[in-house]
Amino acid sequence: MSLPSDFLWGFATASYQIEGAVDADGRGPSIWDTFCATKGKIAGEVDGKTACDSYNRTADDIALLRELGAPSYRFSLSWSRIIPKGGRGDPINQAGIDHYVKFVDDLLAVGIVPLITLYHWDLPDELDKRYGGLLNKEEFPLDFENYARVVFKAIPKCKYWITFNEPWCSSILGYSTGYFAPGHTSDRTKSPVGDSSREPWIVGHNFLLAHGRAVKVYRDEFKEKDKGQIGITLNGDYTYPWDPEDPRDVEAANRKIEFAISWFADPIYFGKYPDSMRKQLGDRLPEFTPEELELVRGSNDFYGMNHYTADYVKHGDGNPAPEDFLGDLTTHSYNKNGECIGKETQSFWLRPNPQGFRGLINWLSKRYGYPTIYVTENGTSIKGENDLSPPAILNDTFRVDYYENYVNALAQAVSEDGCNVKGYMAWSLMDNFEWAEGYETRFGSTFVDYDNNQKRTPKKSGEKMKALFDGLIKKA
C-alpha cells in the first residue's frame, strides 16, 4: 500500500471559521455575520467575531503548519475583505488583497504549497440584501466572476484553486432547512422567507454557472502563464443499502449519492442533471440553456472531495414531499441486521466508516472516468471532547485512529483500485467556529484555547500526521 511521490498532504480551514477580525482593514459583513446576529441560529449564541483570530496571527499559523510538517495548506478567502460590498461595480479593498498576497508569499517562503478556496459560504451580505444573493442568476455569477478575476490577478503564485466549497450545503442548508446562512426555509416557525421546494435547486444551478464562469476566466486569462489548476469541492457521504437484498434499497443508496454529489458533478462531467433528480423534481430543477452548458460542461481540472461519514439507506414510499432533497429515502445508523455504521461522535451526522471512503473514491472514479481527485477535507469531531481540557484534550486517540484508518483506506483506493487521488487535506488545522454548532464541536488537530487568548497547542492527531504520510508516500 502506498501513495505516489508527488502526493500532497496538509490541513484545511475556512475564512469565517478562523479569521475573526471581522471589522479589520475595511472588511464588509458577510451573510454569516448577519446570521450569527439572529437569535436562535447558533448554539450558545456565538459568532466569528474573534474565532481563532487567524487574521492577526498568520505567522503563528504558518509556524504551526511547519511544526506539524505539513507540505500544504488549504484555506479560503473572505470575499468581503477583498470587495467589501461584493459586486462588480463596487470598490476593491487593497488592504484585503495585500493581506492574502502576503500570506501566500509567507507560506511559499517556507515551502508550504497553498490551495485557495474562493468561496467557503461567506457571501458579502450586501449582495444578499441588494439582489437576493445566490438566488439571482443574472447578477451572482457575474459578481463571482469579477471577484475571481481580481483574486487570480493578485495571486498568480497559487497553483491550486477551488471555486466553491460544498455548494450542496449552501443550497440545502441555506435555502431548504434554514440551518445555515441565509436561513431560508418554508418552515415559517424558522424564517419569514423561503421556498424549500424551489429555492435550493435555483441556488445550486447558479453555483454551477458561477463556477463555470470563474473557470473560463482562469483558463482564458491566467492558466497558460500561471500554470495552475482549478476545480470545485463537493461533499457527500458513502451509502450502503439498509437491506442489501432489497433492490429498492440498493437503488436508493445510489440515488442518495446522486442527489448529493451528481447534482453538481454530472453537469460538470456530462452536461446534464441526473435522471433520478429530473424524475423527482421535474421543472423545479432548472434546465441548462446551450450557453450555460457550454460554461459548465468540462469545467473541472480536478475533483475536490470532502468526505466524513457513511449511512445506511432505506427507500422511501415513492411519494416524496415537495421539500425532500435526499431523493425519496431515509438514512440510518443501523442496517437491517442491526449492524452499526460507526461509533458516535460529537456531530449528529458523523460516524466513522473508513471503508466508505474507499467505496466513495471508487464510486466517483468509475462514474467520472478516473478524474484527478484532491481530498480537500476529511476529519472528525469526538463525543464530549469539549468537556475536556489540557492535557487530556490533547490526547485525541479517537481522531488519531480516524485519520489512520481513513488515510489507509485512501491508500488502498489508490494502490489497489487504481484511483487517481493526488492530495489529502485534513479538516481541520485547528479547532474553529463550527457554524451552527458554534464552538461546542471541535474538529481541530490543534487545540485552540478560547479562554486563553486563542492559544494553539497541537493534539496528538496533528503530531502524528506527518509520520502517517511519510510511511505511505513513495520516495521520489
The window from 107-115, 161-169, 271-279, 338-346 that contacts ligand GBH (CB under 6 A) reads 161-169
Known active-site residue 67: no
Instruction: Choose, by CB under 6 A, the member of 179, 270, 398, 450 that binds ligand GBH.
Output: 179
The window from 84-92, 173-181, 406-414, 417-425 that contacts ligand GBH (CB under 6 A) reads 173-181
- Taking CB under 6 A as the rule, does residue 165 contact ligand GBH? yes
* Binding letters toward ligand GBH, positions 223-252, x by CB under 6 A: ------------x-----------------
- Taking CB under 6 A as the rule, does residue 76 contact ligand GBH? no
**List 126, 139, 258, 377, catalytic entry:** 377
> Least separation, in Å, of the C-beta of 162 and ligand GBH?
11
Instruction: Choose, by CB under 6 A, the member of 276, 300, 306, 454 that binds ligand GBH.
Output: 306
* Interacting positions 346-405 with ligand GBH (CB under 6 A): 349, 377
**List 166, 199, 258, 385, catalytic entry:** 166
> Least separation, in Å, of the C-beta of 76 and ligand GBH?
9
CB-nearer residue toward ligand GBH: 87 or 352 = 352
- Taking CB under 6 A as the rule, does residue 308 contact ligand GBH? yes
* Binding residues with ligand GBH: total (CB under 6 A): 16
> Least separation, in Å, of the C-beta of 327 and ligand GBH?
13
CB-nearer residue toward ligand GBH: 254 or 380 = 380
In three state form, how does the secondary structure of the chain look?
CCECCCCEEEEECCHHHHCCCCCHHHCCCEHHHHHHCCCCCCHHHCCCCCCCCHHHCHHHHHHHHHHHCCCEEEEECCHHHHCCCCCCCCCCCHHHHHHHHHHHHHHHHCCCEEEEEEECCCCEHHHHHHHCHHHCCCCHHHHHHHHHHHHHHHCCCCCEEEEEECHHHHHHHHHCCCCCCCCCCCCCCCCCCCCCCCHHHHHHHHHHHHHHHHHHHHHHHHHHHHCCEEEEEEECCEEEECCCCCHHHHHHHHHHHHHHHHHHHHHHHHCCCCHHHHHHHHHHCCCCCHHHHHHHCCCCCEEEEECCCEEEEEECCCCCCCCCCCCCEEEECECCCCCECCCCCCCCCCCCCHHHHHHHHHHHHHHHCCCCEEEEECCCCCCCHHHCCCCHHHCCHHHHHHHHHHHHHHHHHHHCCCCCEEEEEEECCCCCCCHHHCCCCCCCCEEEECCCCCEEEECHHHHHHHHHHHCCECCC
d(CA 17, CA 19): 6
* Binding letters toward ligand GBH, positions 316-355, x by CB under 6 A: ---------------------------------x------
CB-nearer residue toward ligand GBH: 207 or 427 = 427
Preceding amide of 428 cis, omega within 30: yes
The window from 85-93, 162-170, 266-274, 284-292 that contacts ligand GBH (CB under 6 A) reads 162-170
Instruction: Choose, by CB under 6 A, the member of 434, 446, 454, 469 that binds ligand GBH.
Output: 434
- Taking CB under 6 A as the rule, does residue 443 contact ligand GBH? yes
Known active-site residue 166: yes
* Binding letters toward ligand GBH, positions 199-228, x by CB under 6 A: ------------------------------
Judged by the rule CB under 6 A, the positions of this chain that interact with ligand GBH are: 14, 17, 165-166, 169, 173, 177, 179, 235, 306, 308, 349, 377, 427, 434, 443
Catalytic residue numbers read 166, 377
